[in-house]
Structure 1
Amino acid sequence: MQHGKHLAEQAARDLATSSKNSATAVGPAERPLPDPALIDAINQAFALFRVNYHNQFYSAFADTTLLDQAKRLWLDSLRHVGPGPVLAAARALIEQEEYLPTL
């Protein structure tokens, strides 16, 4: 029994030491906050879609929960794109496409 306790204590010490001497750099604890301009651009794009694809829009986003989920998905997927291209693409889509766009 004493031997098992000794092994457990040794393993705990080894783990504590290895976590302090890790070769892997510590990354950020949280993701950076999204660009407020990108959030605004996505909100504007969805407003354009609501006006131009009225029935399709309300069928796709029957409640605010679904709409919020879609906006979060767009924000996460388009994080690397600036707000200008997002709005330009939304405007081009409403002029060219008959159906509500998806990612």
Structure 2
Amino acid sequence: MESGRSHFRLSRNVRTVSSEIFIIWDDDIRVGQLHLHYAHDTIHAAVLLEIDLSVREEENLLEAIDEDVVSSYLPSFEREDLLVTLFRAEELSSFSYSSQDIDTLGPEDED
């Protein structure tokens, strides 16, 4: 993935009054998930990476998150109040009490 590509796309999966969940894509490759929690003047972000990224790619991803999501939420937001934690994660399974099958999002699924 280090081949100079660093265009990440965020596809919103869930939105509430105080939080959002996005799927992170690089072309058609699912990179991970972003969980944002808005707490007054502080935004807490948990980035769950499903693949390894270089430090430069991580920086590009954080920049995309800031530009595409955080700045649109609070344009005059103080960057010191954005707390980001990166995790290396692996999806093991999905569970729901719903009798319907769980839909999995693909890169073509947009807002």
Sort the TM-score into its range (normalised by shorter chain).
under 0.3
TM score, norm. by length of structure 1: 0.27
TM score, norm. by length of structure 2: 0.25
More strand by share: 2
